[in-house]
Structures are given as C-alpha cells and as structure tokens.
A and B are shown apart, each in its own frame.
Chain A
Amino acid sequence: GIQVEQSPPDLILQEGANSTLRCNFSDSVNNLQWFHQNPWGQLINLFYIPSGTKQNGRLSATTVATERYSLLYISSSQTTDSGVYFCAVDMNNAGNMLTFGGGTRLMVKP
C-alpha cells in the first residue's frame, strides 16, 4: 500500500515562530488532507489539498502532486497550535480510504 512519511516527528517552537511540516507519499493520490489533533484528542480538519496551495489565516498548505509531497506552514505560532499534525492520503476515490502518516508532534511554548 501507499506509504506516508511526515517530518519532523517532533517540533518545539517559541510562541511567534514560524514552522514548516512536511508530508511525503509514495504514490499518486486523489485526496490529501491535513488534520490537527488537539491535546484533548479531537481531530480537526485543516485542509483538503490534493494539489495546489490554500491558506486559512495563519496556516497555509501546498501540495506538489507530481513530486509527491505536501507542506503545511504555520506562521506566528500560538500555544493553541500545540498538538499533533497528521497528513492523510487516499489513492482510490471510490472508497476514500485514508492512509495516515505518523504525525508531527508540535509544542509551542509561551
């Protein structure tokens, strides 16, 4: 099956810093989503981005489908950005079964 690798596995930032999270995948995909899992365990949808660039406030994402990677940018980080960020991909549109990466654990210190 498709392999999804995220880097870095752990990241510690000072509040106000910027960061870039990376997701590499091993095959062509029809769907790519970024999620934030907050400290209470809730999975929050950030982006649906199988290709191109999107922005939502301080967060933006870019997927270069031909090179099989996606980047999540967090600018001016806040303590509420802490948690785990997951990338998930799907190759088959019919069932939309997601394969998740291992996640990047982010801690933002005040």
Chain B
Amino acid sequence: DTAVSQTPKYLVTQMGNDKSIKCEQNLGHDTMYWYKQDSKKFLKIMFSYNNKELIINETVPNRFSPKSPDKAHLNLHINSLELGDSAVYFCASSQEALGGIGGYTFGSGTRLTVV
C-alpha cells in the first residue's frame, strides 16, 4: 500500500564504501526526486527524473549517480562515501502534468551514517 517506499531505512557504512538506496512509487507519477536532509533538517533537492529522463541535477558531487530503470523507480548510488554524506535521503514523486502543484509524496527516508 505504501505510495513511495525506500530501502533501506537505515544504512551504516564505512568511509570509502559504495552503497545504493532504492526507491519505488506506485502512484503512477511521472516525476521522481531525491532530496538530502542535513543534520539541521535543511532539505535540498539533488536530482529529478521525469519519465526516466534526468531533468534536474543540482550541484552534487559526481560520486552520486541516480538511475531510473522505469518511471516507477529511482535509485541512488553513492561511490566512495565520505563522512559529510551522512544525512537522511528522501525520495519523492509528483504528477508532472500538474507541474508539481499537486504536491509531492515523500518516502519515509533513508538515514545514512558514514563512519
């Protein structure tokens, strides 16, 4: 039933490792996003995909690579993890035809801790 589901919910890993976070939405939305929430709760967009095409790519280190195999999935792969990557990562989706004015639906987040 979950509209936007992310896995894993928690991820603890060592510096230098490579990890992936998966996201799936069952809302039929056309557009998916990755947001990063830092320790002060500030939310910043990282990427956006519309129908498997990258449409927003904010200033994010190229160690972060999103992949959208189909419009219901948007995964985030992170290479060579650094301490500063520790944050909560949120996946979201929206109906592109509404230009986002219908609001975004967010997943419950993945708390990444790099040690």
A binds B: no
Which residues of A are interface residues toward B (Cβ below 8 A)?
none
Which residues of B are interface residues toward A (Cβ below 8 A)?
none
